[in-house]
Amino acid sequence: MSSLDIFTGETIGTAVLILLGGGVCAAVTLKRSKAFNAGWVAITFGWGFAVLTGAYISAGLSGAHLNPAVTVGLAIKGATPWGDLPVYFAGQLLGAMIGALLVWATYAGQFRDHLTSAEAAGQKSANPGQVHGVFFTSPEIRNSVQNLVTEVIATVVLVLAILTQSTIPGVSADSPKGPGVLGAMITAFVVVGIGLSLGGPTGYAINPVRDLGPRIVHALLPLPNKGGSDWGYAWIPVVGPLLGGAIAGGIYQLAFA
């Protein structure tokens, strides 16, 4: 794969991932959406299908990492050259920002109504925290150590499940053409399982650019009453998944290589 293929594939695939993943969060959160209050199960399956779609689209170009933690794990495994990491990371971050912008464009009217309707009704102000989850994750209990550990554990599960696909006959995450149909489906269902089982404490970023890219976009968008972008917490969904990806790579080398 050329650097251009990697960058293009990761940009497009991650943009689709964030568009559909952030889109389901917007659909469930924003009051004038037909899916309003559909709940956590809808969000977890929405993110799983987002992973599936992004992986299918980008696999032939970049191998469909879509996540710096996955890229780090594959590099430790020896399946991705370390010199390619900056290209993967750049495409993933740009794609995440593009995806977040597309979510905003799709739901622009709903964002505006949701964030201004409280004031129109004579209440003090809208609650910006209600829309933060469309763009970035936040913990239910703010404890840096616990939040970091949660993200590490959840990401280890994700990345180890991806790395060990090569031990299943006919399935490999290491192919230049990506994980293939079965591998992408396995990964998508793993993401759903993580959301249902481990997503409650922090919102399961498990992907640094899934959180950082949309957080940057949130900070720049002209949304009324949007509140701050919670930069004090922002390092946890970046560092935690990167640590988790590295640990998963180490576990693979010790137990499976």
Predicted pLDDT at 119: 57
Query: Per the structure block, which two tokens stand in for 209?
Result: 């650019």
Instruction: Please calculate the CA angle 154-160-161 and round it to the nearest 5 degrees.
Output: 90
Question: 107-134 burial string, b = 16+ CB within 10 Å, else e?
Answer: beebbebbbeeeeeeeeeebebeebbbb
Distances (CA, A) of 120 to 115, 117, 124, 126, 146: 10, 5, 9, 9, 39
Full-model pTM: 0.93
| List of the chain residues with pLDDT < 50 | 120, 122, 125
Q: What is the DSSP letter of 167?
A: G
- Closest to 203 measured CA to CA, from 123, 124, 141, 113: 141
Question: 166-205 burial string, b = 16+ CB within 10 Å, else e?
Answer: beeeebbbbbeebbbeebbbbbbebbbbbbbebbebbbbb
Query: Per the structure block, which two tokens stand in for 57?
Result: 């689209």
**163 contacts 173 by C-beta, under 8 angstroms:** yes
Predicted pLDDT at 226: 87
Q: Is 124 left (phi over 0), alpha (psi -120 to 50) or beta?
A: alpha
CA dist., res. 221 & res. 257, Å (int): 46
Predicted pLDDT at 32: 92
